[in-house]
Amino acid sequence: MSTLTIGKIARAAGLGVETIRFYERQGLIAEPARSDSGYRQYGPETIRRLQFIVRAKGLGFTLQEIGDLLDLRATPGAGCADVQARAEAKIADIEERIAQLDAMKRALGELVVQCRGEGPLSDCPILDALDEEAP
C-alpha cells in the first residue's frame, strides 16, 4: 500500500495542512501511522474521506453531524433511512436559520429606513436602537 504525506493529502483534497490536523484531532480521520522520521503516512482513502467532509460541510452539516454520518457507515444494521433522517433534520435546521436570517433582515431594514444617513452619530436611529435595553 502506498502512503502519502500530509502535504500531498492536503493538495489532493484542496485543504490546508492545519485543517487536516484539526480533523484528525476531532476524530474525523484516523490518526495515521508515522514513518521512522516521524512523518504522518496517510493512505489514499484519506483523500476520499476528506472530500466527503468538505462536501458535507458545504451542505451545512456540522463536524459532529459529519462524524455521525461517517460512523453510520461502520454501524451494523444502519441503512439509507438513517442517513435520510439526518438529511431531513438538516433541512429543517436550515429552514429555521433562513427564517431567523429573514427576521434579522427585516428588522435591520426597518432601522435603515428610519435613518436619514446624515447628521451626527448622537442622532443615529440605528445606533439608538442597538443601545436600547431589551424589554
**What's the pLDDT tens digit per position in 7-35?**
999 999 999 999 999 999 999 999 888 88
Task: Look up the pTM and report it.
Answer: 0.81
The residue whose grid cell reads 461502520 is 74
Would you call 107 exposed, middle or buried from its count of C-beta atoms within 10 A (0-12, 13-18, 19+)? exposed
Mean pLDDT across the chain: 92
| Those residues with Cβ within 8 angstroms of residue 81's Cβ, 6 or more apart along the chain or in another chain | none
Banded model confidence at residue 134, pLDDT cuts 50, 70, 90: low
- Residue 4's SS3 state is strand
Residues 81, 63: Cα–Cα separation, whole Å: 21
134 or 5, which is more confident: 5
**pLDDT at res. 83:** 94
Query: CATH 1.10.1660.10 region(s) of the chain?
Result: 1-78
**pLDDT at res. 94:** 97
Fold of 1-78: Multidrug-efflux Transporter Regulator; Chain: A; Domain 2 (1.10.1660)
Q: Does residue 59 contact residue 84 with C-beta atoms inside 8 Å?
A: no
